[in-house]
């Protein structure tokens, strides 16, 4: 290699090093969020445990907590969120049109949605699967007993297609009774218009707890007929915002893995564990790579708690929904939740 080539290699290496070390540009979505002082988050119209407002207009739920975490990381305050309730049909249009910054509304990741809507799927916040709920008095114990039966389902969802696919593949001849709104499908089932109601198993638990006069009168059948990985979506074309949303979720998972909680986050800032130092920004500034400050993740953790705290508070065994952690356990506890490392 000639001296000229050696110098060229050195210049290229130095340029690449500078680019890699340089702080990230904030991106147009983050710029807009900072200018208005709010994250605009699309959520469910009312799904207990995931996204619902109480009589005072206070929003709670697993999906809502991620909205709060995004606000804490970017604006320093988890309360700086504007919640936009969206039904299944309106949710993607609202994100595509720029009405919202992020859709955090129990939405399944699929190839079609990822490839054809101009949206990016971020990270999975809840591993779910579609199931069926029936009245105990029906004596139905298995989905295979739904042959020729009516099943209430919401239109414009993966649920509707899964029901058709399952019925056809199993030769059951199920008769879907379709409703545009979630509340209409729920009401029809409880009014006896259908022998069963189908949606994600987490949604069934929410509906049974929130809507049924006596939850014990309704049984969720054991079969899951689909994979429903749920998580937030963002618009394509803003890689910086895409990265922020992903890494807030991953960071809350990694915080649980390393024992950083909403209660001990301040004490953990003196930890000598290199991973904890990176999570809390005490030893390395990962924020500059995202266009944020070094305490972006520490604030998110303090606001919502780590992933385990979010799960337990909203949908876990001690919550009203009483859902087992199951597949949503961390990878080192037998579950599927596995975050790339914050480094």
DSSP SS3 for 125 = coil
Q: What is the DSSP string of 272-341?
A: --HHHHHHHTSS---GGGTTS-TTHHHHHHHHH--HHHHHHHHTSTTSSS----GGGSBGGGTSSB-PPP
Enumerate the H helices of 97-200 as residue ranges. 111-116, 158-170, 182-190
Query: Would the pLDDT of 9 be above 50?
Result: no
Q: What is the mean pLDDT of residues 73-80?
A: 98
Tell me if 135 sits within 8 A of 151, measured CB to CB: no
Who's near 168: CB < 8 A, 6+ residues apart?
none
Per-residue b or e along 193-216, where b marks 16 or more CB atoms closer than 10 Å to that residue's CB: ebbbbbbbbbbbbbbbbbbbeeee
pLDDT (tens digit per residue) in 97-152: 999 999 999 999 999 999 999 999 999 999 999 999 999 999 999 999 999 999 99
Q: What is the mean pLDDT of residues 150-156?
A: 95
Half-sphere exposure at residue 129, Cβ-oriented, CA atoms within 13 angstroms: 14
- Domains, the chain, with CATH or none: 28-127+230-328 (3.40.190.10), 130-226 (3.40.190.10)
The position carrying tokens 């520490």 is 298
Summary mean pLDDT of the chain? 93
**What is the C-alpha to C-alpha distance for residues 245 and 247, in angstroms, rounded to an integer?**
6
pLDDT at 13: 46
**What is the C-alpha to C-alpha distance for residues 183 and 226, in angstroms, rounded to an integer?**
22
**What is the C-alpha to C-alpha distance for residues 198 and 192, in angstroms, rounded to an integer?**
14
**What is the C-alpha to C-alpha distance for residues 287 and 317, in angstroms, rounded to an integer?**
34
Predicted confidence band of residue 340 (pLDDT cuts 50, 70, 90): very high
CB atoms within 10 A of CB 222: 10
Predicted confidence band of residue 156 (pLDDT cuts 50, 70, 90): confident
CA dihedral sign of residues 75, 79, 82, 84: positive
Two tokens, residue 83: 């919640």
Tally DSSP H helices, then E strands, for the chain: 12, 14
Inter-CA distances, 210 with 1, 52, 85, 196, Å = 73, 11, 18, 17
Helix (H) or strand (E) holding 61: none
Beta strands, E only, the chain: 39-44, 52-53, 59-60, 81-86, 102-103, 119-121, 126-128, 130-135, 150-154, 175-179, 196-200, 218-220, 228-230, 233-235
Q: pTM for this structure? A: 0.88
Q: What is the mean pLDDT of residues 67-82?
A: 98
Residue 314: strand pairing partners: none
pLDDT at 20: 45
Nearest CA among 244, 236, 225, 46 for reference residue 151:
225
Q: What is the mean pLDDT of residues 28-54?
A: 96
């Amino acid at each position: 290699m000639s001296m000229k080539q050696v110098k060229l290699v050195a210049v290229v290496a130095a340029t690449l090093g500078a680019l890699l070390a340089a702080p990230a540009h904030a991106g147009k979505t983050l710029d807009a969020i900072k200018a208005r002082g709010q994250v605009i988050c699309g959520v469910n119209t009312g799904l207990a445990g995931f996204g619902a407002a109480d009589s005072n207009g206070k929003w709670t739920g697993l999906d809502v907590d991620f909205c709060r975490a995004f606000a804490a990381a970017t604006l320093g305050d988890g309360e700086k969120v504007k919640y936009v309730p969206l039904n299944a049909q309106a949710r993607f249009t609202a994100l595509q049109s720029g009405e919202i910054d992020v859709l955090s509304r129990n939405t399944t990741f699929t190839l079609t949605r990822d490839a054809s809507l101009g949206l990016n799927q971020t990270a999975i916040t809840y591993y779910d699967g579609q199931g069926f709920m029936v009245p105990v008095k029906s004596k139905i114990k298995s989905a295979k007993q739904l042959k020729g039966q009516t099943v209430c389902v919401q239109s414009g969802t993966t649920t509707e297609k899964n029901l058709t696919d399952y019925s056809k593949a199993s030769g059951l001849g199920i008769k879907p009774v379709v409703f545009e709104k979630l509340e209409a499908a729920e009401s029809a089932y409880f009014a006896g218009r259908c022998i069963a109601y189908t949606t994600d198993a987490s949604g069934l638990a929410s509906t049974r707890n929130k809507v049924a006069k006596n939850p014990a009168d309704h049984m969720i059948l054991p079969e899951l007929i689909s994979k429903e990985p749920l998580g937030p979506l963002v618009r394509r074309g803003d890689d910086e915002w895409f990265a922020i949303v992903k890494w807030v979720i991953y960071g809350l998972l990694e915080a649980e893995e390393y024992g950083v909680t909403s209660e001990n986050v301040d004490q953990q800032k003196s930890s000598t564990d290199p991973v904890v130092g990176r999570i809390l920004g005490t030893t390395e500034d990962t924020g500059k790579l995202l266009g944020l400050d070094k305490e972006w993740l520490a604030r998110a953790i303090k606001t919502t708690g780590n992933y385990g705290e979010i799960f337990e508070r909203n949908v876990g065994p001690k919550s009203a929904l009483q859902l087992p952690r199951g597949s949503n356990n961390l990878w080192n506890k037998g579950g599927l939740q596995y975050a790339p490392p914050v480094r």
